[in-house]
Each structure stands twice: as structure tokens, then as C-alpha cells.
Chains A and B, each alone.
Chain A
């Protein structure tokens, strides 16, 4: 109970701590520094690029792009491998058939 009362009091004290607050003022010569920036605008390209890249949307898009490229390369490779295997198996079957036909022809000649 006592703890509760203390906490309530602390909360009230914190909320009232900004009563009679005074305005904070910037360091002297603000105008001079603004004028210096007006005359020499600083353009840090790397900072701009880093800022752009570290944006969540750009980061997510970049990761998605990499994943898509990886998947497509994987599919393309698999497709090519299966195509070559099929071609090879077709070629082998055709070769076997040719060989069989040749043998059959030789047999026929010998029989004649």
C-alpha cells in the first residue's frame, strides 16, 4: 500500500517536473554556421548512398532480388542438366538401335 502511494507520488512528480521549464538555446553563432552551410553546401555522396541502402525497403528488395536470382540460376541449371541427360539417353538408345540394325544386316548377308 505504502509502495503504491510512493509510486503514485513519483509519477506525479515526474509529470510535474516540466513545470516552469525554460527554453533551451542553441550554441552561439548559429547564424554564422547557417551562412557557412549556405555558402558551402556539403554533399557527401557516400553518406547518401549508405543512407539509401540502409533503408528497410531497399534492404528487403535487395535480399528478394538476390533470392530470386539464386532460385532462377538453380532452376536454369537443373533444367539444362535434365535436358542434356534426356538428349544423351535418346542418343544412346538411337545408337543401340543402329548397332542392332547393322548386326541384323550383317547376319542377313551372312545367311544369304
Chain B
């Protein structure tokens, strides 16, 4: 349910008041950007998607009925747009592969380098980069639940509202995400010394 200030902001925006849109952007831009950048793991793409999220908010505020919190609605749009952008990128990657077959070097530009989240503390940067790599390998809904919990700091109830599921489903998703990540990290760390040795040779 909406609180009074949120309800007022939305009502003003629905009436076409520009200042309320600026207020909404100011209030929620970090939340949206942080969620998106954690999913797409690319700062330039995240900037672009964040803009698209607020454009959609502006264009479809008329259809917002206030059944969920404004932040919940924004999280949903941000997650949907981020996942959509990932799918588009995968399609481009496939297209680049075809270009590669015909002699053009399209593959390289779609291969992202290791991602460093700007909010991670300096001493954790290296480990966090490995964790973000592992996050890309686990199922989508587990990744979203883990991101919302660990990076956005939301509790199970809030995640359940965003993902349109139950509290217990979120609990299970988080447990499965942790176990999938452990598996993926184990593979990474067991292969890593071999890679190092082969590079040294």
C-alpha cells in the first residue's frame, strides 16, 4: 500500500505536474540504477536502462493504481527492463557470431570484461568480481532474489511482493541461489590454479 507522500507524488504526476516527476527521479534513481547495474553488470547499459525505466514511469503513470508500493512497481519495471536488455544482448551476441563466420570480428565488442560493482569495498573487489561472474551462471529467478536480498538489502517479504510470489518461495529461492553459487564458485576456484600454472608455463 502507498504511504501518504507517495500517493501525493503520484497524484500530482498523474495531473501532469513536472516537479513531481523530478522528485520521483531524485528519490528513486539510486535504487533503480543499483538494481539494474547489479543485473546487467555493465555501467553504460545500466545508465541507459535507468533512463528507460523512468521514461516508462512517466508514460504509464496513468495506469498505476496504487495497489503496490511505488518502489515495488519501480523494482518490477527495472528488473523486467534489465532482463530484457540481457536477452537483447544475447541475440546480438548470436548475430555477432554469424558475422564472425563471414570474417567480421563482431564477437569481441559484445564480450564484457570482468565487472566491478562501484559500491563494493576496496578489499572485497576481487572476490566480488568472482561472485558477479558466478551470478551470471545461476537461474534467473534465483539471481534476482539474491541480488535484491544481498545488494539492495531487502527482506523476504519485500522480495516476495516484487517477484509476485510467497515468502516461503523467496526463502527457497535464496537457499537454492546460495547453493548454486557455491557450486559455481567451487568449479571456478578448482580450475583457477590450473589456469595460473598454464599461464606461468
Contact = CB atoms under 8 A, between A and B. Distances in A.
A28 to B, nearest CB: 10
Contacts of A16: 124, 127
B91 interface: yes
Q: Which interface class (under 10, 10 to 19, 20 to 34, 35 or more) fits B?
A: 35 or more
Q: Which interface class (under 10, 10 to 19, 20 to 34, 35 or more) fits A?
A: 20 to 34
A18 B150 contact: yes
A16 B185 CA distance: 13
B91 A31 contact: no
B119 A34 contact: no
Contact of A18 (B25, B120, B189): B120
A23 B31 contact: yes
Interface in A7-41: 7, 10-11, 13-27, 30-31, 33-34, 37-38
Interface of A: 7, 10-11, 13-27, 30-31, 33-34, 37-38, 50-51, 54-56
24 contacts: A14-B130, A14-B131, A15-B185, A18-B120, A19-B124, A21-B120, A21-B150, A23-B31, A23-B34, A24-B33, A24-B38, A25-B33, A25-B34, A25-B118, A27-B47, A30-B25, A30-B29, A30-B33, A30-B51, A31-B26, A37-B51, A51-B91, A54-B94, A55-B91
